[in-house]
Structure 1
Amino acid sequence: MRGVLVLGMWLWGLAAVAAPRASLESRLETGDVVLHTSRSRQSQAIQAATHSLLSHVGLVEVTSKGVFVVEAVQPVQRIPFTKWKARGVKGHILVLRPRTLDAEKKQRALAAAKTHLGKPYDWHFGWGDEAMYCSELVRKAYIKGAGVEYGKMERLGSLDVSGLKQQMRERYGPQVPLDLELVTPASLARDDRFAVVHSDFPDAR
């Protein structure tokens, strides 16, 4: 009897080890917020200004045809999650999920984000709706769709832009608008109203 018990325990342990872990993609839900380190030209400046590796953010949509990310690049677009993830440095990603919102509110936030598809990227980080930057898209989607303001609006001058004078002049000209208010990917990531679903960044928050 003891031998049978030992054999059963061994087989159970073997099955547990052999069972594949659920893929990250299969764990995603519509409305999840995904962040990574972009390879874009401005990524290093964003990282320096915010003291964070997180320089790009998008919103997840799960459908019967696959998982997608709605993101503000040039232009605002919807792309497969696997392609979005691969664009990040080393494929590392942070996945956040609203702690208290139901599926309907998250779906409405996604729908709000999709109303901006095709719009140009906002290189000046303004707050108008004629163009969008990545964290603006996510914050506005949740404001309109769920009435929640994730992240914190910050003055450009409050960020660490002291070493970015050349980049600032190239973007804004001689008069850099230090009073400009914007929301950053790092600010969204720090919002504790999100739960961490997955992270390859030990110190991302």
Structure 2
Amino acid sequence: MRWSWKGVWAGALAMAVVVWLGAHGAQAAPRGAQDVATMLRTGDVVFQTSGSRQSKAIQEATHSPLSHVGLVEVTQEGTFVVEAVQPVKRTPFRQWKERGVKGRLLVLRPEGLDDAAKARAVAEAKRHLGKPYDALFGWGDEAMYCSELVRKAYAAGAGVAYGTMERLGDLDVTGLKREIAERYRGPVPVDLELVTPASLAADARLAVVYSDFPEAR
């Protein structure tokens, strides 16, 4: 059998590359809904760019591509996202992912909480199933918007309020005043306090599990 040191070196180099990729590229590799779903755990917070009519306004106001957010629930029947749309509902993860622009998503996981606390947060979110979507971004419980649902679910279920409450007037609404005035049928409610998907995503207590949004954090 003939061999050379050159061949041995080439083979060792190739093996080293394979090992390095396995150690460093695992998080970025999954692209399909099924691959990403295997990484998810109950209580994970998932973000996407929504294709809804108001998505561009949310992106402009927050300077972020993240315009929709929900909570993951992993069950024996499959993986779901509890989300505040019209109405608040529980959506299969594959369907939820494909509904976002280009199928991109950001997955964040609460740090310092056990599985029981995360499960309680999801249970709190599910208490709001069937409620209408809150297009006026109020803070009452009679209707819900997406980031409100996530913040309230974790606050009630785990005692942790993610994100920061912000005044509508402190967001970048300069180019949106007409749209906002039409929605509220009057002056822009600058003192309205709300929590945005971008604010939740910026919370350092949430660790990145997977991301198609390198610019999001």
Instruction: Tell whether the structures are fold-level matches, with TM greater than 0.5.
Output: yes
The CA distance in 1 between the partners of 2:140 and 2:81, in whole Å, is 22
Q: Which runs of 5+ in 2 are unaligned?
A: none
The alignment's TM-score, normalised by the length of structure 1, stands at: 0.91
Could you say which residue in structure 2 is the equivalent of 1:91? 103
- What per-residue deviation string (whole Å, max 9, x for no partner) do you get for residues 146-176 of structure 1? 0001000000000000100121011101222
Show structure 1 runs of 4+ deviating over 6 A: 8-18
Could you say which residue in structure 2 is the equivalent of 1:35? 47
Q: State which of 38, 60, 69 in structure 2 corresponds to 1:26.
A: 38
The number of equivalent residue pairs is 201
The alignment's TM-score, normalised by the length of structure 2, stands at: 0.86
Could you say which residue in structure 2 is the equivalent of 1:73? 85
Amino acid at match of 2:195: V
Q: State which of 157, 163, 172 in structure 2 corresponds to 1:145.
A: 157
The CA distance in 2 between the partners of 1:115 and 1:93, in whole Å, is 25
The CA distance in 2 between the partners of 1:12 and 1:45, in whole Å, is 49
- What per-residue deviation string (whole Å, max 9, x for no partner) do you get for residues 10-44 of structure 1? 997899799x9662100100000000000000000
Q: Is 2:189 aligned against 1:181? A: no
The CA distance in 1 between the partners of 2:139 and 2:65, in whole Å, is 23
The CA distance in 2 between the partners of 1:172 and 1:139, in whole Å, is 23
Q: State which of 38, 51, 56 in structure 1 corresponds to 2:63.
A: 51
Q: Which runs of 5+ in 1 are unaligned?
A: none
The CA distance in 2 between the partners of 1:14 and 1:127, in whole Å, is 52
Amino acid at match of 1:121: Y
Aligned pairs for 1:122-137 (under 5 A) are 122-137=134-149
Could you say which residue in structure 2 is the equivalent of 1:200? 212
Amino acid at match of 1:110: V
The CA distance in 2 between the partners of 1:114 and 1:28, in whole Å, is 18
Q: State which of 186, 190, 198 in structure 1 corresponds to 2:202.
A: 190
Could you say which residue in structure 1 is the equivalent of 2:112? 100
Rate the CA distance shift 1:15–1:198 in 2: closer, same or farther, 3 A.
Answer: closer
The CA distance in 2 between the partners of 1:169 and 1:98, in whole Å, is 36
Rate the CA distance shift 1:11–1:49 in 2: closer, same or farther, 3 A.
Answer: closer
CA shift at 1:9, angstroms? Answer: 7.0
Amino acid at match of 1:175: P
Amino acid at match of 2:80: F
Amino acid at match of 1:202: P
Amino acid at match of 1:66: G
Amino acid at match of 1:122: D
Q: State which of 57, 60, 74 in structure 2 corresponds to 1:62.
A: 74
- What per-residue deviation string (whole Å, max 9, x for no partner) do you get for residues 111-169 of structure 1? 00000000000010000000000000000000000000100000000000010012101
Across the aligned residues of Structure 1 and Structure 2, the Cα RMSD in angstroms comes to 2.4
Q: What SS does the corresponding residue of 1:68 show, helix, strand or coil? A: strand
